Structure 1
Amino acid sequence: MSRTTDARTTDARRSTDARQSATRRQILARTGALGVGIAFAGELSELFTGSAAAQGRAGYGPLIEDPAGLLDLPKGFRYKVLSREGDDLRSHEGKVPSNHDGMAAFAGGQGRVHLVRNHENRVTGRIPVPLVDGITYDPAAKGGCTALTLDRHNDVLGERVAIAGTAVNCAGGPTPWGTWLTCEETEDRAGTNGYTKDHGFIFEVDPVDPRRSGAVPLTAMGRFQHEAIAVDPRRGVVYETEDAFDKPFGLFYRFLPDKPRGGLGSLRAGGTLQAMRVPGVPDLSAVQETGATFGGIEWVDVPDPLAATTAIRNQDFGPKGITHAQKLEGCYWGGSCVYFVSSYARSREGSAADHFGQIWRYDPSSRRLTLVVVFGPDTDVRLPGEEPDNICLAPSGGLMVCEDGEGAQHVFGVTRKGEVYAMARGRQNIGTAEEPAWGEFAGVTFSPRGDTMYVNVYTPGTTFAVTGPWHE
């Protein structure tokens, strides 16, 4: 997810001639003290199946500057810092690791909430996930997850390591049976970067008792640069995104488990990994018009899910090939469909066309794929509102989207009417006074009761609980 540790940080700003759907674009009012400007195109009603209707206005008003210099929010909202990198874990297992990333919230007894949080540590991670017996995969790896237990007032009751010895834990997703699937965004093999085991897998984490889940790679679900997953709760199918920023770009996958009923450990029983083929569309970035729909979507068995000699996206999928897309990231299930995000596409890096962020919808019943949303700046690429990343449904009847671009960093809301507004802005300056910089947001999720938004700032690793008039 984060581009802070690779060559992507040196990229020049993308060109301003990315093709947009101007006829249906909604140019939005500038929001907040810093004047956020965003362009948006798309039809959104289908995104919010099962959530309450929006209440008319776009957002909750302008952002109020935080005197503490941590998080700007609209009037009536407040935050609590739950955890920061470098603090002592309440379990006394070590320090809170750095690089806070994907996250999910699970209901506990007596109004409690269990948060599971990824740490996207590479070999250069500032503060590694402490190694704990029984839940460590590769002692040479610095990534993993931590788990927090909160009471109904969002006071932290416990914080501990949930899995250790994994690498570059980026995003993932919750399962219908109440576990977290954490994804490694790397393909490093044993012997690379000092690792003692192969990486690039998904691991299941029990948020209540991590020792029940252990540290077992779900090898049948593929070895590649995983980003996020979403589970079809009726069929048990797991959809997976691959975050590849250079060619050959990533694929969109589905995993057909041998035990589709689910349950802790069920995915270890194996299954079939397939990749999506859109007939006649080798690169999703070539599709620019929102509402464009493709029928007859095909799913092709992956020749070698373990990528023993060749990365999956390089493998031979037959004369028809396979469909690629640059920077496939967020993924979630809504209503009867799965939605996934392409964070951006750049023709100078090999994509068929440029865009500033797309959301796609796949309907398993009709086998149809539709481009639903296009994000991007209106006239100035220096403005925020680009490179959508983590994404979730909000109880107020819309989406919350984490921005992963340059400059100021926001959590954006998107209403049913397609209006985009700033919900939060990070204030922790990780640059200098002359050249300020801010860490991206990640892991946005809501409490089971819908009264709290939890979100991470990647750097410095910080987890916030945001409360306020969500249903107004």
Structure 2
Amino acid sequence: MTRRQALARTGALGAGIAFTGALSELFAGTAAAQSDLGHSGYGPLIPDPNGLLDLPKGFRYQVLSREGDQLRSGEGRVPSNHDGMSAFAGRHGRVHLVRNHENRATGRIPVPTVEGLTYDPAGKGGCTALTLDARGDVLAERVAIAGTAVNCAGGPTPWGTWLTCEETEDKAGTNGYTKDHGFIFEVDPVDPHRSGAVPLTAMGRFQHEAIAVDPRRGVVYETEDAFERPFGLFYRFLPERPKGGPGSLRAGGRLQAMRVPGVPDLSSIQETGARFEKIEWVDVPDPLATTTAIRHQDFGPRGITHAQKLEGCYWGGRCVYFVSSFARSSDGSAADHYGQIWRYDPDDRTLTLVIVFGPDTDVQLPGESPDNICLAPSGGLMVCEDGNGAQHVYGVTRRGDVYAMARNAQNIGTPGEPEWGEFAGVTFSPDGRTMYVNCYTPGTTFAVTGPWRRT
């Protein structure tokens, strides 16, 4: 049990988190604990009498969907393991939510198989889609893709579709699967049958986590959350049809991996502001990983750059940002950290370490393991925590102040040894008035409204 877990169980753990570094487009400076936030946050979290979600005063939530309930389409039950998610604008003020389900071969409640939307009948993962009316009430809920595996995160495209990522490398014949897994699939949030269940094989077969699309160039950046050494890579996909559009990624393209000259492992970099120029991109020898996982492949005598727990990824301003949730030397990383955010600028080919999380050895600074991230209406960030002990959604202002926005109140442990599921899939409605977020276990999708600040 870590110090963080012990503090959480004794009630000594506050809702604090620490960042160091500077994120030039969004915020700068050093974070403060919640007690020192003052006007920077929305105030202390108020315990929810219903035991679901603690929020600041003035905010309220609506439960949109719970695992085990019946899908409104009649296709079966709401699957478990709610993960990555995004919101898309619809007609007449409607909002379309696409939600991942990170079910493995033994998932509690699988995504129901639906004709025309199922890739591999043995796969338990996939996505569901919700349609909300202008008031935020659920109009429809249905299967969007089925028969995939370990759908962790992904990301939206500029043309209004969702790219869902399989976080596995299992091949046909493993865990009962009838097809190879480890691909990205495109999902149409309005009519999933328009996108079907077609793997985007040119984008690589590996333990995908998240993606972000450069809206000017059409380049798709991809993170890999590999579970063992050598750890994952940071990729870019150069599509044959860079102007994009639904189905455009099926035309193929080139998959490349990032090489930071002289840096074989990103965890070895500890100082925020560290900047590397002339970043290189190396063609992946075998994107389908026919016989060898991509991260094991031969990238030449200069090798390639790895990092442990590459997770969240998003496009902001003119750069792509990606998260390394943690690194542990005991696992084989070059050094330890409790979370990093990196920024890659494609215009000048530079990579900068902009944020470092933690450590969790200080009672006032317990933050660790950032996962899904998104831009907030205020111009800062919302960060889902995936660590030990209490689980929060944290807001980060443009000045660098950090505040607790939500806390999961659903205890899946015992009164004596409480445990809380992680948050995932944080995203905002197109008008910025509603924050949607998932509780992974028990699978719950919330809509949070209140006095959001705007920029």
Q: Do both share a fold (TM > 0.5)?
A: yes
On the 8 A contact 2:3/2:361 being kept in 1, the answer is no
Deviation at 1:35, TM superposition (A): 2.1
Are residue 392 (structure 1) and residue 374 (structure 2) matched?
yes
Structure 1, 250-259 or 382-391: larger mean CA deviation: 382-391
- Residue 145 of structure 1 is matched in structure 2 by 127
Give matches, 1:330-369, under 5 Å.
330-369=312-351
Give matches, 1:176-191, under 5 Å.
176-191=158-173
- Residue 219 of structure 1 is matched in structure 2 by 201
CA distance in 2 between partners of 1:175 and 1:280 (Å):
33
Give matches, 1:225-244, under 5 Å.
225-244=207-226
The 3-state SS of whatever aligns with 1:313 is helix
- Residue 6 of structure 1 is matched in structure 2 by none
On the 8 A contact 1:33/1:64 being kept in 2, the answer is no
- 2:108 partner amino acid: R
Structure 1, 57-66 or 227-236: larger mean CA deviation: 57-66
CA distance in 1 between partners of 2:153 and 2:106 (Å):
19
On the 8 A contact 1:382/1:407 being kept in 2, the answer is no
Deviation at 1:420, TM superposition (A): 1.0
- Residue 3 of structure 1 is matched in structure 2 by none
- 1:219 partner amino acid: T
The 3-state SS of whatever aligns with 2:446 is strand
On the 8 A contact 2:212/2:220 being kept in 1, the answer is yes
CA distance in 2 between partners of 1:224 and 1:42 (Å):
31
CA distance in 2 between partners of 1:181 and 1:48 (Å):
28
- Per-residue CA deviations over 1:127-180 (Å, capped at 9, x if unaligned) read 000000001000001000000000122100000000000000000000000000
CA distance in 1 between partners of 2:364 and 2:175 (Å):
35
- 1:437 partner amino acid: E
Deviation at 1:366, TM superposition (A): 0.2
- Residue 38 of structure 1 is matched in structure 2 by 17
CA distance in 2 between partners of 1:43 and 1:132 (Å):
47
- Per-residue CA deviations over 1:189-221 (Å, capped at 9, x if unaligned) read 000000000000000000000000000000000
- Residue 75 of structure 2 is matched in structure 1 by 93
The 3-state SS of whatever aligns with 1:211 is helix
On the 8 A contact 2:267/2:327 being kept in 1, the answer is yes
Q: Given the alignment, which residue of 21, 43, 47 partners 2:26?
A: 47
- Residue 273 of structure 1 is matched in structure 2 by 255
In the TM superposition, structure 1's runs of 4+ consecutive aligned residues that sit over 3 Å from their partners are 12-15, 377-384
On the 8 A contact 2:88/2:430 being kept in 1, the answer is yes
- 2:17 partner amino acid: I
- Residue 33 of structure 2 is matched in structure 1 by none
- 2:56 partner amino acid: P
On the 8 A contact 1:42/1:290 being kept in 2, the answer is yes
- Residue 300 of structure 1 is matched in structure 2 by 282
CA distance in 2 between partners of 1:318 and 1:34 (Å):
48
Q: Given the alignment, which residue of 374, 379, 386 partners 2:356?
A: 374
Deviation at 1:312, TM superposition (A): 0.1
CA distance in 2 between partners of 1:461 and 1:223 (Å):
27
CA distance in 1 between partners of 2:168 and 2:301 (Å):
28
CA distance in 1 between partners of 2:141 and 2:363 (Å):
40
- Residue 209 of structure 1 is matched in structure 2 by 191
- Per-residue CA deviations over 1:10-54 (Å, capped at 9, x if unaligned) read xx6499xxxxxxxxxxxxxxxx996223221011232369xxxxx
CA distance in 1 between partners of 2:208 and 2:120 (Å):
18
CA distance in 2 between partners of 1:296 and 1:88 (Å):
52
- 1:248 partner amino acid: P
Are residue 457 (structure 1) and residue 439 (structure 2) matched?
yes
Deviation at 1:378, TM superposition (A): 5.5
CA distance in 1 between partners of 2:438 and 2:298 (Å):
39
Deviation at 1:381, TM superposition (A): 7.4
On the 8 A contact 1:105/1:445 being kept in 2, the answer is yes
On the 8 A contact 1:402/1:441 being kept in 2, the answer is yes
The 3-state SS of whatever aligns with 1:456 is strand
The 3-state SS of whatever aligns with 1:436 is coil
What is the root-mean-square deviation of aligned Cα atoms in Å? 1.8
On the 8 A contact 2:70/2:78 being kept in 1, the answer is yes
- Residue 91 of structure 2 is matched in structure 1 by 109
Q: Given the alignment, which residue of 266, 282, 302 partners 2:264?
A: 282
- Residue 229 of structure 2 is matched in structure 1 by 247
Return closer, same or farther for 1:257/1:381 CA change in 2, 3 Å cut-off.
Answer: farther
Q: Given the alignment, which residue of 412, 421, 438 partners 2:394?
A: 412
CA distance in 1 between partners of 2:380 and 2:215 (Å):
21
Give matches, 1:106-185, under 5 Å.
106-185=88-167
Deviation at 1:471, TM superposition (A): 1.6
CA distance in 1 between partners of 2:243 and 2:338 (Å):
38
CA distance in 2 between partners of 1:270 and 1:215 (Å):
16
Return closer, same or farther for 1:48/1:211 CA change in 2, 3 Å cut-off.
Answer: farther
- Residue 239 of structure 2 is matched in structure 1 by 257
The 3-state SS of whatever aligns with 2:372 is strand
CA distance in 2 between partners of 1:379 and 1:417 (Å):
24
Return closer, same or farther for 1:215/1:378 CA change in 2, 3 Å cut-off.
Answer: closer
Number of residues of Structure 1 aligned to a counterpart in Structure 2: 440
On the 8 A contact 1:60/1:74 being kept in 2, the answer is yes
- Residue 71 of structure 1 is matched in structure 2 by 53
Deviation at 1:319, TM superposition (A): 0.4
CA distance in 2 between partners of 1:153 and 1:103 (Å):
20
CA distance in 2 between partners of 1:57 and 1:274 (Å):
44
- 1:342 partner amino acid: S
- Residue 300 of structure 2 is matched in structure 1 by 318
Return closer, same or farther for 1:14/1:76 CA change in 2, 3 Å cut-off.
Answer: closer
The 3-state SS of whatever aligns with 2:25 is helix
Return closer, same or farther for 1:34/1:355 CA change in 2, 3 Å cut-off.
Answer: closer
Deviation at 1:434, TM superposition (A): 1.2
Uncovered stretches (5+) of structure 1, i.e. residues with no partner: 1-11, 16-31, 50-54
- 1:153 partner amino acid: R
CA distance in 1 between partners of 2:267 and 2:162 (Å):
30
